[in-house]
Chains A and B, each alone.
Chain A
Amino acid sequence: MNWLIGAVLFLILAPIAGGLIAGIDRKITARMQGRVGPPLLQPFYDVGKLFEKERAVVTTAQNFYVLAYLIFIALSGALFFAGGDLLLIVFAFTLAHVFLVLGAYAVHSPYSHIGAERELIQVMAYEPMIILAAVGFYMVSGSFYVTEIAATTVPAILYLPGVFLGFAVILTIKLRKSPFDISTSHHAHQEIVKGITTEFSGSTLAQVEIAHWYENVFLLGFVFLFFAWNPVIGVVAVAITYLAEIFVDNVTARARWQAALKSGWLATLLGIANLAILSYMMLGGA
C-alpha cells in the first residue's frame, strides 16, 4: 500500500512543491542580481493567469500532445515516488518528452520547430547519463527499484561521485537552466522567441509549466537517491545542489547546442569511468 500513498502524494503535492521551488528559485535569482524579485507565490499566479486566458491554438492537435506530456511526466514521477523500476521510469520520462516535442512539431511554426529540434538534442545529451545513473544505483544497491535504492544503508554518493557530478551537469539541461537552456527558457529568449513553447498559450502553456514542476520534483528526488542513506543530509544536499544550479544559471551565458551535447556526453564518460572503477573494485572482491 505504501507505493500507492507515495504515488498519490506525489500527484497532489508535487505541483505545490514544484511551484514553491520555482518561486524560491526566482526570488534567489533576483537577489543574486540585486533585485527584490517577485512574490514567492508568483509561479502560481502565472499559471492561474494562464488558465484565465482565452484558448488560442495554431492547431488543435497541439493540446493533445501537451496533455499527453503532462500525463506521462506525472506518471513517471508517480512511478518514482511509488518506488518503481528506475529504468522504466526513465523510459516513461523519455516518452513524455517525445510528446512535448511532437506538440511543437505539430504546429508547423519555424520557431517552435527549431525549439523542438533543440529539445531533441537535449534529450540526446542527457539520456545516456540518466540511464547510467540508474545503472550506478543498481551497482550500489543491487536493485533497480527506487524503494530498495532508497532503503540502502550504503552512502551511494561515496561510491558514485563521478556519476553524481555527471548527473549534476545534465540536471542543468533538465532544469532548463543556463548555459543549457537552448530549447526554451524562463528568461527572455530572443533568438528563437520562446523555442519549443512559442506556439503554446493559455491553458496549454500552463500545462507545460505544471509538467515542469512535476519534473523538477522528480529530478530532485533523483538527486536525493544519492544521499538516501541519511535523509537529513539528503535534504541538505538536494538544497545545495539546487542552489548550485541557480548559481550556474546566473553566472553563465547560453551555450550553443554543440556545447550542450558535448557536455552531456562527456559527463556520461565521467560516469562511465566512475562505474568502471567501481566494478573493478567489486570484481577484485573488496
Chain B
Amino acid sequence: MQTLLFLIVFPILVACLLLFVKRTTIRYAVVALSALAIGGASIYLLMRYAFEGAVYFAAPSGAIDLAMVAIEMGLALFIIYMGAKFRNYLAILLAVIQAALVVYLEMTFSGSLHAANNLFIDQFSIIMALIIGLIGSLIAVYAVRYMETYHHHHPEVRDRQTFFFFVTFVFLAAMFGLVFSNNLMWLFFFWEITTISSFLLIGYSETEEATKNAFRALVMNLLGGVAFVVAIVLLAATEPTSGGIDLARVLASPDAAVVLIPVVLIGFAGITKAALMPFSSWLLGAMVAPTPVSALLHSSTMVKAGVYILVRFSPVFAGTFAGFSIGLVGGVTFLVASAIAISRSDAKSVLAYSTIANLGLIAACAGVGTYMLVWAAILLIVFHAVAKALLFLGTGVIEQRTGSRNIEDMEGLIVRMPKMAVMMFIGIAGMFLAPFGMLISKWAAIEAFVQVPFGLIFIAILAYGSAVTVFFWAKWMGKLVTVTQNTERVEKGFFEESWAPLYIITGLVIAAVFLFPVISSMLIEPYVLAIYGVTAHLADANVAIMLLMMALLLILPVSFLLFKRTARHLPAYMGGRPATPDLHFAGSLGLTREAQTRNYYLTEYFGEAKLFRPGAAVCIVLILVSWILAGVAL
C-alpha cells in the first residue's frame, strides 16, 4: 500500500516543491529525478502486484474524507470565482449544482458513505499506473525544455512556469489516485481534480481563445461531474443492493438493474471526459495549450480517465441494451472523427481527431463489454497512450524547430530532421499499421464483435473506419518520407535534452510490439479472467507471425546498403520540362515556377462542417437512448 500512497502523495510534494523552483536547470533536475522516482515506483508496483490479482487496502478514512469534501468545496468556490471573472455563468451554475449535490449527499447518506476498502490495485490499475508513471512523467520531463523555448517564442505570454509544473504534477497525482480508488467518493474527488487541472493547463496562455476553450472543457467536464454525483447519490440511496460507493461491491452487485442507471450515468461522465461526441469540442479546443499539455491530455491522463471508468464498468454494461447504446456512441464517434481527420492539415488537429476516434473505439468495446472486447479495449489504451505521446511530443519539436505544425510543411522532414522523421514514422506506424499495437487491437475487436448479437453494426463501423484511418495516416507518412532535394538539415543544436524522452517513448512503441504477448498474458488476461471467468488471447501462431513481421520491418532498412552504389540519379519527371531538383522549372513567358505537391483533404466529403454536427446529433440521441434503456431495464 505504501507504493500506492507514494504514487499519489509524492507527485503532490514535487508539485509544491516546483512552485519555488525558478531556474530551468534546477527544475529540469527536479522533474527528471521525480520522473525517475515515479517511473521506478510504477515499475515496482508492476513487479510487486502483477501476480496478486486484485488487492484491497482499507487506507485511513475519516479525516481524509472530510478534507476531500473541503477541497471540493474550495474548488467549487474557485470555479465560481473564475466563472464570475470571465462571465461564464454556465460554469458557475454547474459548479453550484455539483457542490449542492455533494453537500446533500454528505448530509443525507452520511451513514452509507463509506467503503470497506478505499484503495485497491489490480492488473488493470497497474497498466494504467504504468502509463501514467512512465509516459506521463516522460512528458513532464520533455515539458521543462519545451516550456523554456515556448516562452522564448511567445514573449507575450506571462511566464507562469512554476504554476504550470505544479498543476502538471498535481494532475499526475490525481490520475494515480483515480486508478487506485475503490471508494467512489475518492474516485470522484480525483476526477474533479483532473477536470480543474486540465482547465488550468488549457488556459495557460491566458489569451482570449485559450480562456474560452478552457471554459468549454470545464463546462463539459462539470456536466459529466454532475452526472457522476447523481450516480453516487443513487448508489448511496440503494446501498444494500447496489453496494453503495464501494467500487468492488458495485461491480459484484447481484441486482444488475439497480446498478445500471448509476453506472450509465458514470458512463456518461466517462463520455464527457473521453471527449466522445458530442463533447469532442473541448479536446479539440485544448490544442491551444502548449504541446506537452496536449500530449498529457491525449495520451496518459484525462481522456484515459474517461475510458478507464468505462472499461472498469464494462462488466455492468455487458449484455445490456444501455451498454450497447453507449458502445454505439463510441462507434459513431470513431467513424466520424476518423473521417474528419482526413480533412485536417494541422498536425495537432489530426492527432486530436485520431485520439477522439480511438477513444470512441475503446468506448465501443467497453460498452458492449464482452470479455474479448475488454481485452481489446485495454490493449487499445496501452498502445494508444504510447504512440500518441510520441506523436504529440514529436509535433511539438517540429513546430518549435520549423515554425509550423502544418502537415504540408513537414514535407521532406526525412531530409531536414531525419531522426525526428523516423520517430514520427514509427509513431504513425504504431497508430495504424500491422504489426503495431493499435492494429492488433482493432483486429481483436473485429473478431470479438463477430460473436456479439448485432455486432455487425460495429463491424461495419470498424471496416469503414479503419479504411479511413489508413488514408489520413498514410498521407501524413508520405509527407514525412518525401525526399526533397537541396534542403538543409535543421536538426542539430536544438534543445537536445528533450530528445531523451522522445527516444525512450520511441523505444516503448517498438518494445510494446515485442512485449505485447507478455503484457497480454501477464496483466490483461488475468484481469479479464478474474472478471469474466474466461479470457481472450491471440493464437500463438498469429503472435509469431506478428513478431516475424516486426522483425522484418526492423531488418528491412538494412537493404538500404544494397542500393547505394550503382544507381544513376535522375531528376523527377516533369512532363519533359527541364526542372531543378527542387522542382523549379521555366514556365510560360520565361517565368520560373515551382511545382508543389499537396495532399488530398477531400473536404467536400469529409469536412468538419459536413460531418461534425450530424455525428454529434446521433451521439446525443444515443446517449439519451442509453438512459431510457437503463430506466426501462429497471
Contacts and interface: CB of A to CB of B under 8 A. Distances in A.
* A–B contact via C-beta, under 8 angstroms: yes
B450 A139 contact: yes
A111 B573 contact: yes
Given A144-B447, A272-B456, A123 B560 contact: no
Contacts of B571: 58
Contacts of A106: 481-483
B563 A64 contact: yes
B547 interface: no
A148 interface: no
A185 interface: no
Contacts of B471: 120-121, 123-124
Interface in B570-590: 570-575, 583
Contact of B563 (A63, A88, A116): A63
Given A88-B545, A108-B483, A124 B569 contact: no
A75 B443 CA distance: 18
Contacts of B599: 117
Interface string A54-73: 11111111011101100110
B467 interface: yes
Given A64-B560, A108-B485, A283-B453, A116 B478 contact: yes
A126 B479 CA distance: 23
Nearest to A282: B453
A92 B570 CA distance: 32
Nearest to B464: A128
B443 A108 contact: no
A105 interface: yes
Interface residues of B, number: 62
A91 interface: yes
B564 A60 contact: yes
B107 interface: no
Given A124-B467, A128-B467, A132-B463, A84 B541 contact: yes
B568 A55 contact: yes
B156 to A, nearest CB: 37
Given A58-B571, A88-B443, A275-B456, A265 B563 contact: no
A127 B573 contact: no
B466 interface: yes
A150 interface: no
B2 interface: no
Contact of A60 (B433, B479, B560, B595): B560
Interface string A205-245: 00000000000000000000000000000000000000000
A279 interface: yes
Interface stretch (B365-373, B374-382, B551-559, B626-634): B551-559
B542 interface: yes
A102 B475 contact: no
A99 to B, nearest CB: 9
B439 A91 contact: yes
Interface in A101-145: 101-102, 104-113, 116-117, 120-121, 123-129, 131-132, 135, 138-139, 144
Given A108-B482, A121-B471, A57 B569 contact: yes
Contact of B434 (A91, A101, A144): A91
A276 interface: yes
Nearest to A261: B605
B38 to A, nearest CB: 36
Contact of B572 (A65, A94, A109): A109
Contacts of A105: 477-479, 481-482
A98 interface: yes
Contacts of B414: 61
Nearest to B597: A113
Given A87-B446, A98-B470, A116-B478, A71 B556 contact: yes
Interface string A29-70: 000000000000000000000000011111111011101100
Interface in B77-121: none
A117 B466 contact: no
A2 to B, nearest CB: 13
A268 interface: yes
A68 B467 contact: no
B478 A101 contact: yes
Contacts of A139: 450
A25 interface: no
A79 interface: yes
Interface in A251-286: 261, 265, 268, 272, 275-276, 279, 283
A26 to B, nearest CB: 25
Contacts of B483: 58-59, 61, 106-108
A59 B443 CA distance: 35
B190 to A, nearest CB: 38
Interface in B581-620: 583, 595, 597, 599-600, 605
Interface in B340-395: none
Contact of A265 (B464, B477, B560): B464
B450 A135 contact: yes
Contacts of A198: 573
B605 to A, nearest CB: 8
B331 to A, nearest CB: 14
Contacts of B539: 85
Nearest to B582: A108
Contact of A79 (B478, B545, B572, B575): B545
Contacts of A135: 446, 450, 456, 459, 463
Contacts of A101: 474, 478
Interface in B447-499: 447, 450, 453, 456, 459-460, 462-464, 466-468, 470-471, 474-475, 477-479, 481-485
A112 to B, nearest CB: 7
B430 to A, nearest CB: 13
Contacts of A60: 560, 563-564, 567
A165 interface: no
A28 interface: no
B237 to A, nearest CB: 38
24 contacts: A55-B566, A55-B567, A58-B571, A61-B560, A63-B559, A64-B557, A68-B556, A85-B541, A87-B447, A91-B434, A106-B483, A108-B572, A110-B583, A116-B478, A117-B475, A120-B600, A123-B470, A128-B460, A131-B462, A135-B463, A139-B450, A193-B573, A272-B456, A272-B460
Interface of A: 54-61, 63-65, 67-68, 71-72, 75, 79, 84-85, 87-88, 91-92, 94-95, 98, 101-102, 104-113, 116-117, 120-121, 123-129, 131-132, 135, 138-139, 144, 193, 198-199, 261, 265, 268, 272, 275-276, 279, 283
The 10 nearest A-B residue pairs measured at CB: A105-B478, A109-B572, A127-B467, A128-B463, A91-B434, A59-B483, A113-B597, A55-B567, A131-B463, A63-B563
Interface of B: 411-412, 414, 433-434, 439, 443, 446-447, 450, 453, 456, 459-460, 462-464, 466-468, 470-471, 474-475, 477-479, 481-485, 539, 541-542, 545-546, 549, 552, 556-557, 559-560, 562-564, 566-575, 583, 595, 597, 599-600, 605
Given A98-B474, A123-B470, 6 more contacts: A57-B563, A59-B569, A64-B557, A71-B552, A109-B572, A120-B471
